[in-house]
Amino acid sequence: MPIKIPMPKPIAEIDGDEMTRVIWGWVKDELLRPFIELNTEYYDLGLENREATKDGVTHEAAEAAKRLGIAVKCATITPNAARVEEYHLTQMWKSPNATIRGALDGTIFRTPIITKLITPAIPAWTKPITVARHAYGDIYTAIEGISPDGRLDVEYHNTIASIKSFAEACFRYAESEKLPLKFSAKDTILKKYDGKFREVFADTHKDFPNVDYAYTLIDDAVARVIRSHGGFIWAMKNYDGDVMSDMVSTVFGSLAMMTSVLVSPDGKFEFEAAHGTVTRHYYRYREGETPSTNPVATIFAWSGALKKRGELDGVERLTEFAWRLENAVIDTIESGVVTSDLAGLANREVKRVNTQEFIAAVRGRL
């Protein structure tokens, strides 16, 4: 047996629910543990354990992400009325993502994983576009009113502190990824509200002089983005980011090929897949079927966290391994071996495999 790659410092490992929890185990057993001395602090955020700990485990996980600086998270169930019944919950526990985001005061960056097998709906987009959405304020906390005389009024809300955190996380991430950063809003109309965003971004740029940054009016930005080749971070206010992130992910093809990283203003990173726990596949798995769920975003959450750990600690072999893992995944897909969701999007004939067969093919290339 070759000697495994060392991992001197741990990351926070946050386990989750349903199909993604099953895939989590397969990825660790087949693609990580055989190659590296996996070093993690483990937090079980499976819904049973959140119930057993009265959600204490979620707060412990958030604290560990802050303390260790790097976390990797599996998708988790956000309880609703049906889940309260299904899992016999004593409370409708809060969304773990909301708890962790609150603790880290973080911004979410979503990036598509691109392969030659899937042509984006806008073929010029050959490089990823990462969308950064300010997940606070705007219309989501607006006060609305309709007057008897037929007037409709809306009052927006935000805070300068939250805008600052957002801007800092954007520059921090742009610096870490060595990517240009664009921020767009409509400060010609909302001179004070959007003007304040523009001003805060310009001020924050002074602390990150190496980042290639530009402000663009949102409508002009849309035109430029459509005609671009990708390869930048596009930061937007809450509503603009909500709409545009759905547009961008649809153009690139599949939610199963989208990674997500939460970055705090002081440079802590939490990596995850953008999709949920894939409940329908899990119910079939429980019936004994072998589903063809796409594990790519989960694998990239791990590789993202390992890359960052290697970079911060100067463990080159760890970073190198993470790159090799990502390349093995891309090569497997480009060789035409894919899960069912991608078979429908492929621009040529492919071989459909189930999740375990796909993971085995990736391991073969490693």
**Which residues would be at the binding site for ligand NAP (CB under 6 A)?**
75-78, 97, 255-256, 272, 275-280, 293-294, 341
Measured in residues, the chain has a length of: 366
CA–CA distances in Å: residue 323 to residues 27, 132, 254: 16, 23, 22
User: What angle in degrees, to the nearest 10, is found between the helix axes of 18-27 and 355-365?
Assistant: 30
Min CB(26)–ligand NAP separation in Å: 13
Six-digit token pair at 192? Answer: 């004070």
Residue closer to ligand NAP (CB basis): 126 or 340: 340
Min CB(69)–ligand NAP separation in Å: 20
- Which of these ranges, 137-145, 157-165, 185-193, 244-252, lies near Mg ion under the rule CB under 5 A? 244-252
Min CB(208)–ligand NAP separation in Å: 28
Min CB(51)–ligand NAP separation in Å: 14
- In the shown chain, the binding pattern of residues 256 to 295 toward Mg ion, with x for contact by CB under 5 A and - for none, equals ----------------------------------------
Min CB(244)–Mg ion separation in Å: 9
The option from ligand NAP, Mg ion, none interacting with 278 (CB < 5 to 8 A, set by class) reads ligand NAP
- In the shown chain, the binding pattern of residues 194 to 233 toward Mg ion, with x for contact by CB under 5 A and - for none, equals ----------------------------------------
Note the maximum CA span of the chain.
Answer: 80
242 scored as a contact of Mg ion (CB under 5 A): yes
Name the residues that contact Mg ion, by CB under 5 A. Answer: 242, 246
